[in-house]
Structure 1
Amino acid sequence: MHDIRREPDRGREPVLQFDGLLHTRKRRAKTAGTVPFQFPAELPATPIDELVHATAALDNRGRLGNKSLFRLLSWTSADRLQITVEGQLPVIRRSQSGRSLIRANGYLYLPSAVRRDCNLTAGERVLLAAAPALDVVVVYPLQAVAGALWAYRRHVWERKP
C-alpha cells in the first residue's frame, strides 16, 4: 500500500509524495496528515492517449445515441463503421468495409446479433468509452462498470457504521 503523505513546509503547499515522486507549489498551508491511497502494483502502459466517455440508453431497436461523442471522433453519417464483439463487449471502429452507419439523426444501431451476443437489452444504460487516438468506441454495460469498480476498491463501497 502506498500513502500520499501531506507534510507541511513553511509557506508552501503540503508536499504530495507518491513513492519518490514529489511535487510542491507555493501556497500557505498549515495542515498535516496522511491520506491513504493505493495504486495498483504496477500501472500498465497503454496506447490510449485520451479516454472520452459518455453514457447512453439502448432503445428497443438497438439505437445508441451520443452526438457529442461521435462528433469528437469526427464520425459522420458518411463513415462506415464495423461493429464486432470482443469479450462480450461491442467494439466499434471506423472501417471502409463496415456495414453500420451513424444515421443523420446521430444514432448508431447495434445489430440484434451483437445485442444478443453481449446480453444487452432494451432500456439498458451503457458506458461508451472512446479512444480518439485509436478511433474506437467500446460499449460497456453499466453493470459491468459497477462490477469493475466494486472489484477495484470494494472497501469504499461497503457501509460504515
Structure 2
Amino acid sequence: MTERPTPLFSPPEPDLSTPLITVDTRPRTDLTDLLLATAAIDHSGRIPARRLLRALDWHPDQTTTAQLRDQTITIRLDAHSPHRIDSRHHVFIPAGLRDLTGIRTGDTVALLGAPQLQLLAVYPVRALTTLLGTPVD
C-alpha cells in the first residue's frame, strides 16, 4: 500500500500580507475628573444621580442606554433608547441587568461619573467586594 493517511483538518495558511490590528487595552490614565457617589435603587429600577448627571451635562428627557461590562453597568446617552432621564434626575437600569448583577430594590450601588468619557458607571456591592477580595455572602 503506497497511500499516505490524510489529516481530517488542515488549517489554512495565515495571510501575512494583511497587517494585524491591535487594540490598546491599557487603562487610560489621562482621566482627571472622576466623580463618585452612592445611591439606592428604587422599586422601578431607577437610581437618583442628580450631582453626577449635572457634571456629565445630562438633562431630564435625554435618553440613555445601559450595558453590562464584566460586573459593571455602564450608562451612556443614546438617542435611540426608550429609557429617559426623569425629571428627578434618575437613570433607569433595566431588570435584566439588575438580575445579572444581583442588584435588588433598596440596594446601594456606587456610581462613578467620567465626564471626559461621557459615561456613568454603576457598581453593585458584589463587584466592589470582589475587587477588595472580600467574600460575599
TM-score by length of 2: 0.70
Distance across 2 between alignment mates of 1:90 and 1:44: 17
Aligned residues: 109
Matched ranges for 1:4-23 at <5 A: none
Distance across 1 between alignment mates of 2:110 and 2:31: 17
Identity of aligned residues (%): 28
Distance across 1 between alignment mates of 2:59 and 2:35: 17
Instruction: Give the Å deviation of 1:45.
Output: 4.3
Instruction: Give the Å deviation of 1:149.
Output: 3.2
Instruction: Give the Å deviation of 1:71.
Output: 1.0
Equivalence for 2:80: 97
In structure 1, which of residues 42, 46, 60 is the aligned counterpart of residue 29 of structure 2?
A: 46
Equivalence for 1:107: 90
Matched ranges for 1:109-128 at <5 A: 109-128=92-111
Equivalence for 2:14: none
Q: What is the root-mean-square deviation of aligned Cα atoms in Å?
A: 2.0
Unaligned runs of 5+ in 1: 1-42, 152-161
Distance across 2 between alignment mates of 1:144 and 1:104: 29
Residue 117 of structure 1 aligns with an amino acid whose one-letter code is: L
Asked whether the 8 Å contact 1:83–1:100 carries over to 2, the reply is no
Distance across 2 between alignment mates of 1:139 and 1:108: 11
Tell me, yes or no, if structure 1 residue 74 matches structure 2 residue 62. no
Distance across 1 between alignment mates of 2:30 and 2:94: 28
Residue 107 of structure 2 aligns with an amino acid whose one-letter code is: E
CA deviations over 1:5-28 (Å, ceiling 9, x no partner)? xxxxxxxxxxxxxxxxxxxxxxxx
Structure with the larger RCO, 1 or 2 (CA within 8 Å, 6+ apart): 2
Asked whether the 8 Å contact 1:128–1:137 carries over to 2, the reply is yes
Aligned partner of residue 133 in structure 1, secondary structure? coil
Q: Identify if the C-alpha distance between structure 1 residues 47 and 100 changes in structure 2 by more than 3 Å, giving closer, same or farther.
A: farther
